[in-house]
Structure 1
């Protein structure tokens, strides 16, 4: 059962998928409608899942499920992944490219290849207070409080330690 994202419980489990390019307004509309329809019928072992999904910053697809009502199964989680695997090629978008880190540069989403992060820190292109998207958050509450956070509060902190060593 689909519900609006703002209504899903704070404890809801979230998965964040990142597009490898900005989505157009039309693509966001198409993806939103596709996601709503898929979530409306999302089930685990024949039980409806209370779920939501929303696209943020024309880049990030966030899917949330309220586990307090029905737990998603491995098969249902796989199904949610397949939705994006199916629509990605139609939109010419890769939602599964984990080789990029996402930064918020004054409201503009920028990407840096993970392989180039160390040099970006050394060249001060990424600083400890640079806002980054931490797509490893697990709940809506975490998403709300630390999805956008300082680089030195994420897995990137090791690069700042190396820089001062």
Structure 2
């Protein structure tokens, strides 16, 4: 069942899907409708299951699920991944590539392949203070507090 994100506990599971491009304004309403519909049908047979999502910077889809009273099976996770794959195909984007780097440049969010990001670091186009998005986080508390951090405070610091 879909609930507001703020109602989920800090230990809720999260999955972060960065889009290879920003969603167009004309796509947002339809995208959110599709996601809410999925959230409401994800584990429809389990009335204790609570899930939510966030669409951030018109680029990141974040799923969150409280599995404290309702266990998420591999089949449930597979169902969510199948939904994400369908979104990729429908919108002509990439959402499942965790080896790309998302970071802020001014007010804009950039999406680069890791090899291109390393070149930006080498050429000092980004610095240790540049804000990156850690899309490998898996718990709501960590997402809420450590998703946007400087490169020097992230696992990307090894590339500095």
Distance apart, 1:25 and its partner CA = 1.9
Q: How many residue pairs are counted as aligned between the two chains?
A: 159
Partner of 1:36: 36
Aligned to 2:4: 4
Unmatched segments (≥5 aa) in structure 1: 161-165
Q: 1: distance between equivalents of 2:119 and 2:56?
A: 28
Task: Give me the TM-score of the superposition, normalised by structure 2.
Answer: 0.92
8 Å contact 1:50–1:69 — kept in the other structure?
no
Match of 1:77 in 2: 77
CA distance in 1 between partners of 2:46 and 2:7 (Å) = 20
Alpha-carbon shift at residue 8 of structure 1 (Å): 1.7
- 2:46 corresponds to: 47
Match of 2:113 in 1: 113
Q: Distance in 2 between matches of 1:40 and 1:59?
A: 22
Query: 5 Å matches for 1:72-151?
Result: 72-151=72-151
Judge which range, 125-134 or 88-97, deviates more.
Answer: 88-97
Structure 2: how far apart are the matches of 1:9 and 1:28?
26
Q: Where does structure 2 lack aligned partners over 5 or more consecutive residues?
A: none
Counterpart Cα distance in 2 of 1:95 and 1:141: 22
Cα distance in 1 for partners of 2:19, 2:77 equals 19
Structure 1 contact 4–52 (Cα < 8 Å) conserved: yes
Task: Please give the secondary structure, in 2, of the residue aligned with 1:14.
Answer: strand
Deviation at 1:39, TM superposition (A): 0.8
Instruction: Kindly report structure 1 stretches of 4+ aligned residues shifted beyond 4 Å.
Output: none
1:145-160 equivalence runs, <5 A: 145-160=145-160
- Aligned-partner SS, 2:30: helix
Report the alpha carbon displacement of residue 89 of structure 1 after superposing the two structures with TM: 1.4
Deviations 1:23-80 (A, max 9, x none): 0123221111111111112229x42421001211010000000121212110000100
